[in-house]
Amino acid sequence: MGAANSVQRRAPASHIVSDQKAAGNEAKQCAETEKPAGRATISTYNAIPNARKSPGHARTECEQPPPTKPGATKIQQFARCLMRGTRVATDGSPICVVGLCGRICRGSRPTDFETLLGPAEDQSGQEAARLTWLVGPDGLDTLISAVAGSNTTAEAETTAALPPVINMLMSVGYTVLDTYRGIVKDGNSYLLVVMPAADMNARLATWDGLLEVLRECYPDLAPHLSSVWPDLERDSTTLGFDELERRYISEDFPPLSGLHQESVSKHISRARLGELGAEGKLRTHHVRAWLFVAANVRKNFRGDGYTWLASGEKGNEEWIMRNRRIDEMDSVATVPLGQPTSDQVTKYVCEQFKAEQRLAEQRRPDEAKISAAIKLQAAFRDYTLRQQQKHSETAENQQNVLPQQQSSASCESETEWRPTPAQFTGALRRGDKLPRSKKLAGLCGRVCRGTRATHFLGLAELDGQRRVVFMLGSDGLEMVLRTLHMPLQLLLYLGYDVLFVYEEIMRGAVFELVVIAESSEAGVVPATWQRLPDVVAASFGKDGKRLSTLVEKHLPQMQKESFYDLQQAYTHPKTGVVMSMNEARRKPVESESSDEPPWRMTENRLLQLQNCRTADVRAFLYHAMNLNNLYSGDGYTYTQEGGRGFREYLAPNKQKEELGVEWSSCPIGMPTIDECMEEICRAYDKLIERKMLGY
């Protein structure tokens, strides 16, 4: 679908139409001035209630002839109803949207609104957009519902009251990342252009309709597109977008999922598409990738004339037409939609992401679809590796590189580097790079965090709540050495949740890396199921042995059942209601004496249970030791998509001075708030996509 993901714009100025106020219910009506007939019929409205006014929309300049077509009155009536958030006109008649379509344009400059999609002349050197996506009659009706469902009191505009424009954008398929970037980073305001579909030669966005518009916009490509179109429609249905993208990446093109303005030039171009067509080498994955880049035909486009929301729900009709200047279009109306604050968008994203995370843990995974996702991830990694190999020599010549030869005490072989903890942290501080021929060995590490100096006395805060900590092995530390200049990516590589990182930064936390030598003296063991009883016995003091016995008793069943099954079995003994382990983990330890669900399974609560279930023990491991839904018990970290990461270890939480081995520490750079929010938006969109795909 394209309606939600394109850059959208506003009309130019030639005649000033000032805001006017009428009496009674028409206090915010259309500000119209009759002029001699010109090229367009444009009506300007004040921003809808509870939406921040954009200075760019307070006054709009346009030629303003009186309505001349039969549909013009219907269009203006819809605009007034949208403004008031009601389906009933001022005369009591129901609003009629049959035959209308609309385009939500966005931008931060007057030139951004010259056409339905982009400036009339693209200043970036890229080809200007030739076609644009529209919402149909049912989409326009949805927009009115979104306004009506929002708080329409201007005084209630707080971070808790969501402005209608956010509801409107989400209702027609905008992604969270698009919304966040547009409002917070680009300072966009939004404008709805309403028009008659027939007069604009708009087509329903089916495969046939899309081909017709492409023939109109790209006549030179029409024969080539027509020749592969039946195969494209078939492959898009039978193979799916992911497989077509994998084939595209295999030809050394970049992944489509990482598309941004700077990377457009690296993708297949219109000229290259024509060359492949002329040579008889044009394939369906070439056309599908070009449609994604040039025509904004996104991953969830199905060609049935409807949008498909990220949640998997069938959305509204979507239409498509040739991109046109707004001042050359007959009988249109424009309605400024306002601009939410960055705080409102941030709060919305974080709350929705947190809710989706809780739901994701309670969904049964689909192994076949997870395997397909891992296959696509492998294609991404192969592409990245090829790109790195192309530039490795140049990059290494420009970076500080660790010495190829180390002393016999610190280098065991030509392919292995065994530094002391102090040597490793020294390399981090200098920004040294590990040669590709070298592998790090002999060390393990722990990322600590806190807001006060006392928080860094141990491997985690020594408040009695964290008895066991996760450690990363040499392969994880090697990644630290290679990615220290990207602190957020580093933390994500190491298994941190991006929302958790954001919340920690907001409360003023900083991060530190503690590196220790591999040794049994520190109690560091692989994070496998088999080693859990020993770790529990060593970490929970006088209760360690009893807890270890419980863990060992239920260990075979925990290995046999999935986290999903155990989560479903974690029910309140009296009511039978399933208790979310994720939600319970956020409750304070003091809540252990309360019978109110969900239970946070502390060591005391577990030992007091008369009939301890396997699900109770699994909840204890989650809440007391942070073994969440991604813990697999094979000694490796895993991503939400099922991809295997680094080796991970477990160790008792001790003061650094009591570790009994050599250690060293150094600070890790801080991610910015904006970096965290962008990643939260991406992660949220991925969660919704996985929900749509069923895993």
Please, how many CA atoms are within 13 Å of residue 350, restricted to the half-sphere of its CB? 18
Please, how many CA atoms are within 13 Å of residue 494, restricted to the half-sphere of its CB? 32
Cβ neighbours for 511, distance < 8 A, ≥ 6 positions apart? 447, 448, 449, 487, 491, 667, 668, 670
- Tell me how far apart the alpha carbons of residues 259 and 126 are, in angstroms, rounded to a whole number: 14
- Tell me how far apart the alpha carbons of residues 37 and 35 are, in angstroms, rounded to a whole number: 6
Q: What is the DSSP string of 477-509?
A: HHHHHHHTT-HHHHHHHTT--HHHHHHHHHTT-
Cβ neighbours for 325, distance < 8 A, ≥ 6 positions apart? 11, 114, 115, 120
Hey, which residues does 195 pair with through a beta bridge? 101
Predicted confidence at residue 284, as pLDDT, reads 96
pLDDT in tens, 233-262: 999 999 999 899 999 999 988 888 766 555
Give one word for 256, left, alpha or beta, with left for phi > 0 and alpha for psi -120 to 50.
Answer: alpha
Average pLDDT over residues 260-268: 73
Does residue 555 carry a pLDDT above 70?
A: yes
Burial status of residue 129 (CB atoms within 10 A of its CB: 0-12, 13-18, 19 or more): buried
Predicted confidence band of residue 37 (pLDDT cuts 50, 70, 90)? very low
pLDDT in tens, 465-517: 788 999 999 988 988 887 767 788 878 877 787 888 888 888 888 899 999 98
What percentage of residues in the chain have a pLDDT greater than 70?
A: 72
Average pLDDT over residues 530-544: 92
Decide which of 148 and 594 is more confident. Answer: 594
pLDDT in tens, 644-690: 888 999 998 888 888 877 899 888 878 888 888 888 887 777 776 66
pLDDT in tens, 103-141: 998 888 888 888 888 776 554 545 667 899 998 888 888
Predicted confidence at residue 434, as pLDDT, reads 78
Cβ neighbours for 400, distance < 8 A, ≥ 6 positions apart? 430, 431, 432, 433
For 570-601, b/e burial (b = at least 16 CB within 10 A) is: bbeeeeeebbbbbbbbebeeeebeeeebbbbb
For 270, list phi and psi in degrees, rounded to 5: -60, -40
pLDDT in tens, 445-478: 999 988 888 888 888 888 777 889 999 999 889 8
